[in-house]
Structure 1
Amino acid sequence: MDPCQAALSIVKELREAGFQAYLVGGCVRDRLLGKEPEDYDVCTDARPDQVEALFPRTIATGIRHGTVTVIAAGHPVEVTTFRVEGAYRDGRRPDHVRFVGRVEEDLARRDFTINAMAQDPEGAIIDPFGGRRDLERRVIRTVGAAEDRFREDALRMVRAVRLAAQLEFSLHPETEAAIRRMAPDLARLSVERVTQELEKVWKARRPSRAVASLFRLGMMKHLPPFHRWDLPSFPRPPALDALDGAASRRMRWALLLHLCGQKPEEAAGRLKELRLPRRDAEEIGRLYRSAAAWPSSLAEEEGKRRIFRDGIGFCREALELSRRMGVIDEAARLRQVEALNRWNGEMPIRRWEELAVNGKDLIDAAGRPAGPWVGRTLRILADAVILGRLPNNHQLLIKEGVRIGRDATADPGDDD
């Protein structure tokens, strides 16, 4: 049973039990567009306790707001009771919800018309706000007055821009005008929610559309944490276009920092402000620094050292990022990719694990205690092997390593 069949089985079981039930929201939109939805949601007039009683496997994910996750054939499906919402005093969640008996009332609380449609098991569409018409027109329009929707939750402004990029739609003039007026309200958002939306933007075929809108509509200067940064007024189109076709998520994050005028040496800190995991922040920062300083020509020894230090995949990615940042041109990138691939094929080792000696071997052979001399000696040996000056032979490397370690004894600061 696939996710769609799982969701429909829940709808049918609810209906057989005497309740109303429909597929709702983004899954209906995507099915009408001929796309496979990422997930499926169901709405019903059954109360959360009734849903829990009807299905054997449930998770109480949002009981207070009427949501129960039902596990059907291994697929999680959110089932939410028809509801209307009270005031959004925190600009994010309603203070209270009230369960209602009609699906049309539930659809009226949703953000955009294309997300405010429901579908029954026979395929009939309930569309009280013109969502199908807006799909045909390829436009993002709010349900009701745009300012009301954005006042309830300012993140909806970012979602509008993100959806427009993902679907390659345009913003309805009234929706766009409301975003321009209400952009200062974005300052109330949490960094985590902003970052989650940007992560979704990176999955779009043309993420530049969303980033351009964030600048064009005056949103970027109010979004946390960007409102604390010294931002350019509007990035040049070639720099924006570089986001499209970028081969990886981390390349797109690095390009965003570049578009925002952030220094490579500050990249990791900026990404931590965005609440990215520490490892991600450090890796993206390293990629950005490497790309920003990439030379227009690369000597063989330096190229092989980079391959050993960073890996061939990282080098190719940094080279591509460097071109997209305008540090090197396409001709230089092609020359260097060819050279890097050739050097990678020639190198006898490409990782530390492939070196025929390790630290314990050196300590045992030299009869010396561990200390900084071990790492230094291994680096010298590895460099000699990757450049073809020494074979990757255990006995020869032990002999040379002991000699290097013995010579190092003259340096009083070498041992602990």
Structure 2
Amino acid sequence: MDPCQAALSIVNALEEAGFQAYLVGGCVRDRLLGREPEDYDVCTDARPEQIQTLFPRTIATGIRHGTVTVIAGGHPVEVTTFRVEGAYRDGRRPSHVRFVRRVEEDLARRDFTINAMAVDRRGRLIDPFGGQGDLKRRVIRTVGAADDRFREDALRMVRAIRLAAQLEFTLHPETEEAIRRMAPDLARLSVERVVQELEKIWKTRRSSKAIASLFRLGMMDHLPPFRRWELPSSACLSPLTVLDEAPSRRMRWALLLHLCGQKPEEAARRLRELRLPRRDVEEIGRLYRSAASWPPILTEEEGKRRIFRDGIRFCREALELSQRLGAIDAEERLGQSEALNRWSDEMPIRRMGELAVNGKDLIDATGRPSGPWVGHTLERLADAVILGRLANDHQQLIEEGVRIGRDTTADPGDDD
């Protein structure tokens, strides 16, 4: 059973039990566009407790607001009771919900017309706000007054931008004007919710369109944490098309830092402000710093050392990012890419674990206690091997390691 069949089986079961039930929201939109939906949602007039009774496997994911997740055919499907909502006092969640009997009332609370459609198991479309027409016109328009929808949840402004990029639509003039007018409300958003939308923007083919809109409509000046940064004006921005077709998510984050005028040495601090995972902070920051300092002329020694330190895949990514940052041109990148591949193939080892000696071997051979000298010696031996000055031979490396150890002044911490 695929996700669509799972959702339809839930609709069928609800109808057979005497309830109304529809596929609703993004899955209806995507099916009308001929796209495969990422997930399916169902709305119904059945109350949450009735849904839980009807289906054997459920999760009370948002039962206070009428949502129960039903597991059907191994797929989770959110099933929500028709509802209308009270005031959004915190700019995100309604103060209360009231369950209703008509699907049209439920659709009226949704964000955009293209998301405010429902379809029953017979394929009958419920479209009270002209969503199908907006799909044909390829336009993003709010359900009802844009000010009201954005006042309820300011994140809807960012979603409008993301949907326009994702679907390659344009904003309705009234929706766009409301975003310009209400952009200061974005300051109320949490960093985590903003980042979730940016992560979705990175998955679109036209990320540049979305980021350009965030700047053009004055949204970046109010979005946390960007509003605390010194941002360039939209007129001073580098070409945003560098974001499009960037081969990795971490490259897009690095490019965004660059477009926001943030220096490589500031990357870690800015990434922490974005509340990205620690690993992302380290990897994206390292990628940005490496690309920004990439030399226009890469010597064989430097290239092999970079490959050994960072790995060939990282080096290729840093090289491409360097071109996108404008540090090198396309011809330089092509030549260096060919050289990196050739040098990688020539190298007898590409990581420290492949070296024919280890720290214990050196300690046993020299009789010295463990200390920082061990790592220093292994680094020198590995460097000699990757540059072809020593063979990756255990005996040769031991002899050279003993010599290095003998010539090296004992570290102060050796006796600790």
TM category, shorter: over 0.9
Partner of 1:276: 276
Deviation at 1:239, TM superposition (A): 2.5
Name the aligned partner's letter for residue 272 of structure 2. K
Name the aligned partner's letter for residue 145 of structure 1. A
Name the aligned partner's letter for residue 130 of structure 1. G
Structure 1 runs of 4+ with >2 Å offset: 235-239, 409-416
Partner of 1:357: 357
1:383-406 deviations in whole A, cap 9, x for unaligned? 000001111111211121122112
1:21-45 deviations in whole A, cap 9, x for unaligned? 0000000000000010111100000
Contact 2:115/2:131 (<8 A) preserved: yes
Residue 164 (structure 2) pairs with residue 142 (structure 1): no
Partner of 1:106: 106
Deviation at 1:14, TM superposition (A): 0.7
Deviation at 1:411, TM superposition (A): 5.8
Name the aligned partner's letter for residue 63 of structure 1. I
Deviation at 1:186, TM superposition (A): 0.3
Partner of 2:163: 163
Structure 2 CA distance for partners of 1:191 and 1:292, relative to 1, 3 Å:
same
CA RMSD of the aligned region, Å? 1.1
Distance 2:235 2:290 in 1: 22
Distance 2:90 2:310 in 1: 46
1:58-104 deviations in whole A, cap 9, x for unaligned? 11100000000011111000000000000000000000000000100
Structure 2: gaps (5+ residues) = none
Partner of 2:26: 26
1:340-361 deviations in whole A, cap 9, x for unaligned? 0000000000011111111112
Distance 1:42 1:415 in 2: 69
Name the aligned partner's letter for residue 29 of structure 1. R
Distance 1:201 1:65 in 2: 28
1:262-292 deviations in whole A, cap 9, x for unaligned? 0100111101101100110110000001111
Partner of 2:346: 346
Contact 1:84/1:105 (<8 A) preserved: yes
SS at 1:335 equivalent: helix
Name the aligned partner's letter for residue 240 of structure 1. L
Distance 1:27 1:251 in 2: 30
Distance 1:254 1:415 in 2: 44
Distance 2:298 2:129 in 1: 59
Deviation at 1:407, TM superposition (A): 1.4
Give the paired residue count.
Answer: 416
Partner of 1:6: 6
Contact 1:373/1:415 (<8 A) preserved: no
Distance 1:352 1:17 in 2: 65
Deviation at 1:408, TM superposition (A): 1.2
Structure 2 CA distance for partners of 1:120 and 1:141, relative to 1, 3 Å:
same
Distance 1:238 1:266 in 2: 19
Name the aligned partner's letter for residue 339 of structure 2. A
Contact 2:369/2:414 (<8 A) preserved: no
Distance 2:414 2:316 in 1: 36
1:91-123 deviations in whole A, cap 9, x for unaligned? 000000000001000000000000000011121
Where do residues 14-413 of structure 1 align in structure 2 (5 Å cutoff)? 14-234=14-234, 239-409=239-409
Q: Identical aligned pairs, as a percentage?
A: 83
Contact 2:71/2:77 (<8 A) preserved: yes
Distance 1:325 1:415 in 2: 48
Contact 1:239/1:325 (<8 A) preserved: no
Contact 1:372/1:415 (<8 A) preserved: no
SS at 1:409 equivalent: coil
Contact 2:85/2:97 (<8 A) preserved: yes
Contact 2:48/2:81 (<8 A) preserved: yes
